[in-house]
Homo-oligomer: A and B are copies of this chain.
Amino acid sequence: MTTVISREIRLASRPTGIPTAANFVLASRELGPLQDHEVLVRNLFMSVDPYMRGRMNEGKSYIPPFEIGKPLSGAAVGEVIESRAPECKPGDAVVSSLGWREYCIASPQELKPVSREVQPLSVYLGALGMPGMTAWAGLHCVDVKAGDVVYLSGAAGAVGSVAGQLAKLYGCRVIGSTGSDEKAETLRRECGFDVAFNYKKGPLLDQLNAAAPDGIDVYFDNVGGETLEAALTAMRVHGRIIACGGISGYNDPPRPGPSNLMYMVAKRLTMKGLLVGDWQDRKDEFEKEVGGYLRSGKLKNLATTVEGIDNAADAFIGLFRGKNIGKMVVKLVAKETEPGKM
């Protein structure tokens, strides 16, 4: 092999509000030939995640911003096509953070080998990847236990759908809010939620109170804003809040927060902010547990799959339009290639 042509998505301009197609550009790049200790990977699936919206803004955050004109990055799962490193051999399935492109050249240190036992491999971008581990870490960081009434917003998202299923496995009563009747139905039918409702169908607090007349013990917040405000009202004394995400505000300039934060005091609530990067030392524990649930069929990896890198920007934008049920992934090849073949 000498070189390959890889298509990739670059940031064309910084979005204002919800991103549009004009913020992205599809371009091609020639990769290779490989140097010593390098590996050529063909990406099979790439991830689009809400957190990436923050990286499209300028300014300091917990991760550096994307650069205009450069390819975006993010999780991807692929297979090794060619290797000049002894650690990797053609056909190996690997996860990298070099998504938003069809091929990448990486060092073995940038690639995490994964088993093909759980299929499709896009599970490593979902329930067995960053979103699944976020769900798992969130429940652990507030010591969720059997009997807790757990409410999740963004419940049909990649994180929420796993967190809700895990909470059920832990013996909790699980309530989820989501943006359509279809998603609510999926959460009940596929994920075993005790209650799932469409927040657009009526006042959130009313629906929440109906679902949890005695209040909630744990709120897994993926949404922020008014949803957090309703949850604060519904919390029981000594309740715990996992501050995991705030998708309601990712596309807007800062907006006022909940007017009822004094419930933090009056109900002696605990709120914990969560980034999964802090939990890397417990990754083996997570993979063992959640991998076990997936293999035994106790947990489902809900996913919405969009085909082709030319649709990746649309897939990403769709996250903020409620287009996904479960993990949104982009499938980059029509059919997984056989190990060792192109």
Contact = CB atoms under 8 A, between A and B. Distances in A.
Contacts of A263: 273
A278 B268 CA distance: 9
A262 B249 contact: yes
Q: Tell me the interface secondary structure of chain A in the complex.
A: loop
Counting chain A residues whose Cβ lies within 8 A of the other chain, the interface size class is: 20 to 34
A231 B6 CA distance: 46
A275 B264 contact: no
A1 interface: no
A270 interface: yes
Nearest to A268: B273
A99 interface: no
Of the listed residues A224, A244, A257, A274, the one surrounded by the most CB atoms of chain B closer than 10 A to its CB is: A257
Contacts of A244: 265
A264 B254 contact: no
A61 B237 CA distance: 11
Contacts of A264: 243, 271-273
Interface of A: 61-62, 224, 228, 237, 243-246, 249, 254-275, 278
28 contacts: A61-B266, A62-B266, A224-B261, A228-B261, A243-B261, A243-B265, A244-B265, A245-B265, A246-B262, A255-B259, A256-B257, A256-B259, A257-B258, A257-B259, A258-B261, A263-B273, A264-B272, A264-B273, A265-B273, A266-B273, A266-B275, A268-B273, A268-B275, A269-B271, A269-B273, A270-B272, A270-B273, A271-B272
